[in-house]
Amino acid sequence: MNKLIIVTGGSKGIGRAIVEKFMSNGFDAVTCARKQNELNAMESELKIRYPGCSFYYQVADVSRPDEVKKFASFIHSLNRKADVLINNAGYFVPGSIADEPEGNLESMMNANLFSAYHVTRALLPAMKQNRSGHIFNMCSIASIKAYANGGSYAITKFALLGFSKCLREELKEWNIRVTAVLPGATRTASWDGVHLPDERFMKPEDVADMVYAAWAVSERSVVEEILIRPQLGDI
């Protein structure tokens, strides 16, 4: 049976690239996103590209705990071992702490931090029972470098890196690996409207390649952090 990867927010961008990278290497995949039409189109495309693999999906907004429960129940219903979990869901809204819109922090905390926290907690009992698995949390350069107009986004990504470090310490004895991924500017929909050439950004596929490489090392080792930036530096 194929191994199974679970990716939150996997219908586009880095999440989509990770799904395709692992499926191209024989994994079955499960993902969620908020838009049914995007998931339907993704399913049609992946069935053609990876006929030997299975693709499962459900509409879910994992910034909401009730939606996390629904997504977790769907995963459990598959009766499959979770080999890899990618906590990828999240979003970015620019703004400074002093004058960003009211509610920015709470909204991005829900999407960027609490989603990873609740999805992980929902899947950990089975992973601990199996004494195996690899959890990747999609952090950011903003997890280690404050910058103007980063506002609440940077706060949430600093917190996600802290969550990753805590999780790594807790899960060592269970043989579950934890990796924090800290990508710089990657050409995804978050950068739509920015007038910079695509060459100035990283490709989502580059991040996916690094995630797969970190998973592929022997179980005797763990890549605790992946820091990857555009060749010309941060934007």
Residue 193 has pLDDT above 80, yes or no: no
H helices within 4-134, ranges in order? Answer: 13-23, 36-49, 65-77, 104-108, 115-130
Residue range 27-56, pLDDT digits in tens: 999 999 999 999 999 999 999 999 999 999
Burial of 152 (0-12, 13-18, 19+ CB in 10 A): buried
Burial of 188 (0-12, 13-18, 19+ CB in 10 A): buried
Token pair of 148, please?
């103007």
8 Å CB contact between 18 and 7: yes
Report all structural domains of the chain as residue ranges with CATH numbers, in order of start.
4-228 (3.40.50.720)
Our measurement of the distance from residue 217's CA atom to the centroid of its chain's CA atoms, rounded to an integer in Å, reads 19
Helix (H) or strand (E) run with residue 228 in it: strand 225-228
Burial of 193 (0-12, 13-18, 19+ CB in 10 A): exposed
Residues 210, 216, 217, 223, Cα dihedral to 10°: 40
Mean pLDDT of the chain: 95
8 Å CB contact between 223 and 179: yes
Q: Which pLDDT does position 149 carry in this prediction?
A: 86
Residue 116 has pLDDT above 80, yes or no: yes
For residue 68, give the nearest of 136, 4, 24, 114 by alpha carbon: 114
3-state secondary structure of 89: coil
CA distance 1 to 185: 36
State the helix-helix crossing angle for 36-49 and 13-23, rounded to 10 degrees. 30
8 Å CB contact between 101 and 145: no
Q: Which pLDDT does position 134 carry in this prediction?
A: 98
CA distance 21 to 181: 16
pTM given for the model: 0.95
Q: Which pLDDT does position 176 carry in this prediction?
A: 98
Phi/psi-derived region of residue 139, left when phi > 0, alpha when psi is between -120 and 50, beta in every other case: beta
For 126, other C-beta atoms within 10 Å of its C-beta total 15
**Res. 167 pLDDT band, cuts 50 70 90:** very high
Residue range 181-190, pLDDT digits in tens: 999 988 887 7
Q: Which pLDDT does position 195 carry in this prediction?
A: 75
